Structure 1
Amino acid sequence: MGEAIGNHVRGRSEGGAYDALEGQALADALQADARSIVDDRHMRVRFDAAHTNEPEGPAPGVVPGGAMPLEELRAQAAKVVTSKVLDSGLGYLKVDEFIVPEASGEVFAAALTVVREARALAIDLRSCRGGSDDAVAYLLSFLLDNPPQLVSTVVWRSGDVKKTMTRDVGTAAYGGTRPVFVLTSSRTFSGGEEFAYDVQAFKRGMIVGEVTGGGAHPTGAKFLGLGFIATVPMGRTVNPITGSNWETVGVQPDKVVAADDALATVETLVAKQVGGSNP
């Protein structure tokens, strides 16, 4: 696949397709041409003038320049994870990004404590664009009994294997029996999709909303020189139950509705299944 992309891009270059382009416009053209050969939605090219002097080679993390300090990640986690109990009695947890458990663990525990007594729980991933697979497994720990359980395996191109497991989260656990609903949209991507896919595979909840974006491959960043950075898929995610993943096809909802209608749909379902408000 890499050779096919390279041949196509070289041919386009020799034909003058990029001669009038620079900066992000050139990055966009390279990305579009690469994806015309291999439709991997994690494959990206971007331009960042701050890195014009970086030598070519691996970048220290998907974010050029390396990972954020832990204190900043904790502050970010507090912004992207929120929870409350709705007037209907439904517990509501919104996750816009899965940040590494070292930064998000306490945030998830506090958020789940807020909804711990709710008879049913809706987890809103409609705006979630991805994040850490370890954080995905950590959140699943609140919903699955009998930790540790294998959640996923990443098989890297190098042949190395990474396994993610659930953990014992103690009294903060929501438990493995009460109804859980995961809200999705076409914007739900990567780690957000993994959480929905795993909930579905473990038969731990119902997915309500739209088919997700279809990106299952973990990545690494490469400096290309002159400020251009490529995000390159470097492995594949394997669910232990399905033996597969959601690459290109997305997560298929159990109940397909427009994303904007997903929460109201869940409230209606909960009213029918468990009735009323919390005591």
Structure 2
Amino acid sequence: MNLVQSLAAAAAAIVVAATAGSPAPAQTMSQAMAETRAALTPDAIRGAVEELASILQQRYVFPDAANQYAEHLRSRAQAGAYDGASDPQQLAAQLTGELNSIHRDAHLRVTLNGGSETGRRVLRAPPGDDAFGEAQWLADGVAYLRINIIPGDDASKARMGQILDQYAEANALVLDLRTCRGGTLGVMDVLLSRLYSQPRQLMTMDTRRGADGGLEDFYAGASTMHEVQSAPRNVRRWQHWAQPTSPVSSLADARVFVLTDETASACEHLSLALKETGRATLIGATTRGAGNYGGEEAFGNGVFQVFLPIGRSYIERTGQGWESVGVAPDRAVAPQEALNEALRELNVAPNAMTQALAQIRAPRDTVRVDGAASPTRRYGIGTAMQVGASSLEVMEIAPGFPAARSGLQAGDRIVSINGAPVSSLSADQFSAAMRASALTLDVLRGSERMTLRMSLDS
């Protein structure tokens, strides 16, 4: 049994045990991990590293950097630098660190894939279960919307349209992107269609030719994307436009403020587009600086995966994007003061604010949509529900909430909730379970499985 076969078998054993609704036998877990580590032979490791080198060389967005990545990996592998690896997760982390020491890319990372899928999965469009947070009036004529992620699914696009149309008569719109971690163009285009009265070019997007992994079909079907035929030989170039609704939304005349902090990826695309066209004032902190788009590509029989950046977005006028440098706000203030600053700019008197403002000033992952509590509101767990997934990655834990007190950590993977495997839960069931007064989570942290209990009363 080679490396990828053994890792796949071990990962499958862990997943089966973790989703069975009861704690996995220690022998099963330890046996699976022993088989995994035993498969890390020098020859197997070198084969996996060579496959990664080929993927990067053929499809990474910048050919020169791609060649440097590949040369480094092959040289290190030939010298035996990875031969002593005994833990696949540590090997993935080592590869990520080395690649980013050569050419930093905020999206480029190697992780374990669990053997669940092979091939390319470019342009992730995550489901919108936790995409939108609070949506409410702050004061007379002032609407507020928090966006946590920008999905591409039809249900999320419809929901965004409903929210915006509900506040169509607003004189000012505050878009809170401080916790917005990325996504794709679908929901973004719905938002942009309400904010412009005339078609407007926003961003140019260059994809390395031959590496699009489905981008051609994705862009060809979007009225907001126009392909540029005069692109360089090794590049497919697209212009991203705002296409107004017909009739034009009254929000096209509203003042727009964007709050920034840990804003990343597609959310930076949105921020820079609004700033560059003069459509919004950015208030807060410089964003994360993740400007090269792409998606996961599995390798090694689906055991490892690399998030592979295959394209870059930038302002055509300057040729500059935001990779590594972020998007600077128009008004730099402490992120927790960004909303206050926007309200001062709008001359909103304190006694004119709604009681909902206190909710918005709660910990950053407090999430509501029109008054309905979301899973992250009470326990302080930031995760994106993916229906049918065997586990859910914990992306963020809010300090001071029950989840933090229970010992749950970012990077943990939740495999069951109140005894039910997450793979068996619908989005509604997931939301209901996470709003319950008591919560029991079975969690994987690396190779260790644990049960964590928390309560809203604790």
Aligned to 2:89: 24
What residue number does 1:60 align with? 121
Contact 1:91 1:122 in 2 (8 A): yes
Contact 1:93 1:123 in 2 (8 A): yes
Partner of 2:156: 104
* CA displacement at 1:154 relative to structure 2: 1.5
Give the drift of 1:216.
1.4
The structure-2 alpha-carbon separation of the partners of 1:172 and 1:129, relative to structure 1 and needing over 3 Å to count, comes to: farther
1:80 to 106, 124, 131: 131
Partner of 2:270: 195
Asked if the contact 1:112–1:172 (Cα under 8 Å) also holds between the matched residues in 2, the reply is no
Give distance in 1, aligned partners of 2:241 and 2:310: 21
Query: 1:26 offset after TM fit, Å?
Result: 1.6
Root-mean-square deviation (CA, aligned residues, Å) is 2.7
**Structure 2 CA distance for aligned equivalents of residues 3 and 189 of structure 1:** 27
Q: CA deviation at 1:17?
A: 4.8
Change (3 A) 1:266 1:19: same
Helix, strand or coil for the counterpart of 1:192?
helix
TM-score, structure 2 as length reference: 0.52
C-alpha displacement at 1:239, in angstroms?
2.6
CA contact (8 A) 1:109 1:172 kept: no
2:69 is matched with which residue? Answer: 5
TM alignment of 1:45-194, pairs within 5 A: 45-51=110-116, 54=118, 58-62=119-123, 73=127, 76=128, 79-82=130-133, 83-87=135-139, 89-100=141-152, 102-147=154-199, 149-158=200-209, 159-170=235-246, 173-185=249-261, 187-194=262-269
1:16-43 Cα shifts (integer Å, max 9, x gaps): 3562342322211111110001111111
Indicate conservation of the 8 Å contact 1:28/1:45, yes or no.
Answer: yes
Matched AA of 2:202 = V
Partners of 1:60 and 1:101 in 2: CA distance: 15
Structure 2 stretches of 5 or more lacking a match?
Answer: 1-64, 210-234, 355-458
Pair 1:46–1:245, CA change in 2 (3 A): same
Higher RCO, Cα 8 Å, sep 6+: 1
Aligned partners of 1:221 and 1:232 also within 8 Å: yes
For 1:254, the equivalent position in structure 2 comes to 330
1:61–1:103 Cα change, 3 Å? farther
Matched with 2:415 is none
The Cα offsets for residues 22-77 of structure 1, whole Å up to 9 and x where unpaired, read as 232221111111000111111111102233x84xxx413355xxx67xxxx3xx25
Q: 1:215 aligns with which of 267, 290, 306?
A: 290
Contact 1:125–1:188 under 8 Å retained in 2? yes
The one-letter amino acid of 2:73's match is V
**Aligned-pair identity (%):** 28
How many matched pairs?
A: 261
Residue range with higher mean Cα deviation, 96-105 or 123-132: 96-105
The change in CA–CA distance for 1:190 and 1:174 in structure 2 (over 3 A counts) is: farther
Other structure's SS at 2:92 match: helix
Larger Rg, first or second structure (1 or 2): 2
